[in-house]
Each structure stands twice: as structure tokens, then as C-alpha cells.
A = this chain, B = another copy of it.
Amino acid sequence: MHGFRKLIRLDEAINRFVGILEPIKETEKIHIRESLDRVLARDVVAEADIPPFDRAAMDGYATRAEDIYDADPENPKVLRVIGISEIGKPFEGKVSVGEAVYVHTGSKIPIGADVVVPIEYVDVVDDEIFVRKSFAPGDNISRRGEDISKGTKVLRAGRLIAPEDIAIMKALGMRYVEVLRRPRIAVMACGSELVDDPEELGPGKILEYSREIVIGYSKKLGAEVIDFGISPDSEQEILKKIQLAQTQIDMLITVGGTSVGKHDLIPHIIRKYGELIFHGVAIEPGKPICAGKIGRLPILGLPGLPVATFIAVRTILLRAIERISSIRGRFRHSTIRAVLGRRIWSKPGIRTYVRVKLIRKNSMIVAEPIMIAGSGVLSSVVMSDGIVEVPEGSEGIEEGKEVEVILIRDVSTV
């Protein structure tokens, strides 16, 4: 315990931070093709039926159901074929008593016809057909509006647009769609010892890299990232960046400078110039997280040790971006069930995240905890396949228990 006066629970921290965030309302109109993974600003309501006309669902003959109601193999009905309805080239005439039109799957059903007799129930002799089976009205026809009928709410505002959503918008005749603008997130690392360029390394200097985790996941979650670089441990310098972020930025994420100690400027600055809503979260790794607001700018202060940064990103930042984005629903964690390969210990009262490697043993997937415990050991994240969450009310999880593993990567090598 780094000397935090009071740790708050993770769920409470998320609630407090999400509570001070403003969901984006500004929209922009873009081509539907450009709208993949953007957030829909308004409901999409069908202004037309899909399909726009009755279509044949099989190759066969379009006719009037009442003309063949008693057709059977012993008593086939004779119809006169008066034309063909092809895809892209419909039959323009009308089907009257005793008549039929040859139709391809997908082609338009001519006026007057209300049924399609599949070819296998028909014998063709010159321009006449012998129908050997009766069908009910509507059989083998895709009705106009069967997919979507006019007036239906097809997509709801707040939806993250998927490829099939683009397809359905195109089917509805839309070319442009109104989406919410992307969240704009500024990311800044704090620490006088930090440099970005290996050539600037010198005595006591170290490369900053934890903020790359914030930048990468923010991008993956659809945000625009503005990199504020590295700030030294100077109240003035950090304040300058905070001023800079007041107008265009939805949220500032700082990395480092949040532990209890001399250089822990971020919570100090938030408390001094704004409102600090928490400092210290009952989570391991990741404890020295703080958050608050200066002016209109929400600030999330993440610890600089990379494993702690990583866990904070996958727990709090995810929920924050979700909120700002105005998404309906929650970003999904991809999970898999596995059997715990070794006992996990955790402190009661602390939500603990344990990195695991997944190993396939026969038909079983085993989650092996990675034992290098330090929050500074980023290789433990890179080596791992997932994380296991141990709830606050527990002292760990027994070996051999089934656990849900939150998967880290989009590609599985197990």
C-alpha cells in the first residue's frame, strides 16, 4: 500500500469518472462506405420496401394459384406460357386465366400471378405446360417488403456500424449517413527522467513507452489521438498542456506521476486547479490511478508502470471511451473458459488481474499464471494471452478451477 489514504473500488472509480464525461453530440455526414466502425447518430428508418417488388424464390412458372388449385399427377392443369421474366428484364404484361410466365429465381413476378410452380412439378410441351401439383397463393415468392417493410426502424442511434449495416443502408437507397464525430483524446506522459528518442538517453534517463499502450488502444476503440508527448515533473509545464487541451479535446490521459511521492504531480495539480474525484483504486496492478476535471477537461491519470497502465486501459479507459463515443451498449471483452493451471493469490478487498498464458492440453485449455509479478515487466503482458480477474471479495482462485479468461489479442495461437 503506497500510502494512499483510501482506495476506492474499481466499479466506483469507473462510475465516478464516467459520470463526469460528456457524450459526444456533434455529428458529421459521411459516405456510407466510410462509416465502418463509426457511431450512428440517428435511427435509420426504411423509406422503401426491400425487396422493392415480389420476386420468384425458385426457377419455375408464375401463375394464378386458383387456376391450379386441384392439379395432381393424374389430373395435371394445362397453362399457356406467354413470356419470360428475367432478372433485370421483367415480363411487362399481365398473367390472365390459364396463363403462366417462366421466372428465374430473383426475377420479378408479373402482374396477375400470385404463385410460382417450381420447374420440377411441370412438364413442358411446346408453349404449354402441364402442372402436376397445386400450390397456395404466395408459395415460392419473396414478397415485396419481406426483408424490410417501409417505416421499419432498421438501425438504432448509437450503433457501432458493422459491414452488414453499411449493406442494409445501401439497400435502403442511402448514400450518406450521419455519424457522431470521433472522440478526441490527448495523451501525455509525465516524468523528468523520460525521453522519446533512444539518442537522448543519458545517465538516469529512460525511454518512455507506457503511453503507447494508451495510444494504441484508444485508436482501436475508434478515438482520434493527439499525442502531447512527454512533460517533465513541472506543475507549470503540465498546466500549459492542460490549458492547450481545454478547447478541442474530450479527455486527457496522463501516464505516470500518479504514485504517492514527491513527483506525483497529477493528482496534486487536479486537486489544486480543479476537482479530484478519486486517487487510488483498489486494483492490482494499477492502484495509483486518479481522475478529475480541470475547467471543462476530464483528466484520467494512469500509472506509468506499463502493466499497471495496461490494466487501467483495459478496465477504466475502455469504459470512458465507450461513454464519450455515445455508443449504445458496451465494448465486448472477448473471453474464453479455461482451467487454472496454478493457484492465484490475491489480497481481499483488491480487484486483482493476473496475466495468463493459455496452453492446450488434450481437449482442455489451461490458463497458466505468469509469475513475474512486477508492474514494470511489460514482457509479462506481451507473453500472455489473457488476464483473469479475481474479484474483491476473494483471496484468490484454486488450481484446477474453471475461470473466464479475458483475451488480449485478436489472433489466437492456442
* Residues of chain A at the chain B interface (Cβ within 8 Å): 32-33, 36-37, 50-52, 55, 57, 59, 85-90, 92, 104-108, 142, 146-148, 152, 154-155, 159-160, 162-168, 170-171, 173, 175, 191-194, 198, 201, 203-210, 212-217, 219-220, 259, 261-263, 306, 310, 313, 327-332, 334-336, 372, 374, 376-379, 381-382, 407-413
The answer to whether A332 and B212 touch across the interface, beta carbons within 8 angstroms, is no
Q: Which interface residue of A57, A107, A166, A168 has the most chain B CB atoms within 10 A?
A: A168
Q: Which residues of B contact A327 (CB under 8 A)?
A: 411
Instruction: Enumerate 25 A-B pairs (CB-CB under 8 Å) in ascending A order.
Output: A51-B206, A57-B374, A59-B261, A87-B193, A87-B204, A88-B191, A88-B192, A88-B194, A104-B261, A105-B259, A147-B379, A148-B379, A152-B379, A159-B411, A160-B411, A162-B216, A162-B409, A163-B214, A166-B212, A166-B213, A167-B212, A167-B213, A167-B216, A171-B207, A171-B306
Report Cα–Cα, A209/B330, bound state, in Å: 28
The answer to whether A382 and B168 touch across the interface, beta carbons within 8 angstroms, is yes
The answer to whether A332 and B165 touch across the interface, beta carbons within 8 angstroms, is no
The answer to whether A203 and B92 touch across the interface, beta carbons within 8 angstroms, is yes
Q: Which residues of B contact A203 (CB under 8 A)?
A: 90, 92, 108
The answer to whether B411 and A329 touch across the interface, beta carbons within 8 angstroms, is yes
Report Cα–Cα, A166/B331, bound state, in Å: 22
Q: A191-B87, A206-B52 are in contact. Are A146 and B329 (CB under 8 A)?
A: no
Report Cα–Cα, A410/B201, bound state, in Å: 41
Q: Which residues of B contact A215 (CB under 8 A)?
A: 33, 163, 166
Measured CB to CB, the nearest residue on chain B to A221 is: B410
Report Cα–Cα, A411/B374, bound state, in Å: 32
Report Cα–Cα, A45/B309, bound state, in Å: 23
The answer to whether B163 and A204 touch across the interface, beta carbons within 8 angstroms, is no
The answer to whether B162 and A408 touch across the interface, beta carbons within 8 angstroms, is yes
The answer to whether A171 and B204 touch across the interface, beta carbons within 8 angstroms, is no
Pairs A-B, 3 closest by C-beta atoms: A163-B216, A88-B193, A329-B413
Q: Which interface residue of A167, A374, A412 has the most chain B CB atoms within 10 A?
A: A167
Q: A204-B108, A374-B142, A382-B168 are in contact. Are A87 and B263 (CB under 8 A)?
A: yes
Q: Which residues of B contact A381 (CB under 8 A)?
A: 164
Least Cβ distance of A145 to chain B in Å?
10
**A204 touches which one: B89, B146, B331 (CB < 8 A)?**
B89
Least Cβ distance of A172 to chain B in Å?
9
Report Cα–Cα, A408/B160, bound state, in Å: 12
The answer to whether B89 and A147 touch across the interface, beta carbons within 8 angstroms, is no
The answer to whether A410 and B108 touch across the interface, beta carbons within 8 angstroms, is no
Q: Which residues of B contact A104 (CB under 8 A)?
A: 261-263
Measured CB to CB, the nearest residue on chain B to A380 is: B147
**A382 touches which one: B107, B164, B194, B407 (CB < 8 A)?**
B164
Report Cα–Cα, A213/B166, bound state, in Å: 8
Task: Kindly list 8 other residue pairs between chains A and B, CB separation below 8 angstroms, not including A106-B193, A163-B212, A167-B210.
Answer: A86-B204, A87-B263, A108-B204, A142-B376, A163-B219, A164-B212, A166-B213, A331-B411
Q: Which residues of B contact A306 (CB under 8 A)?
A: 164, 167, 171
Measured CB to CB, the nearest residue on chain B to A204 is: B90
Least Cβ distance of A360 to chain B in Å?
13
Q: Which residues of B contact A33 (CB under 8 A)?
A: 212, 215
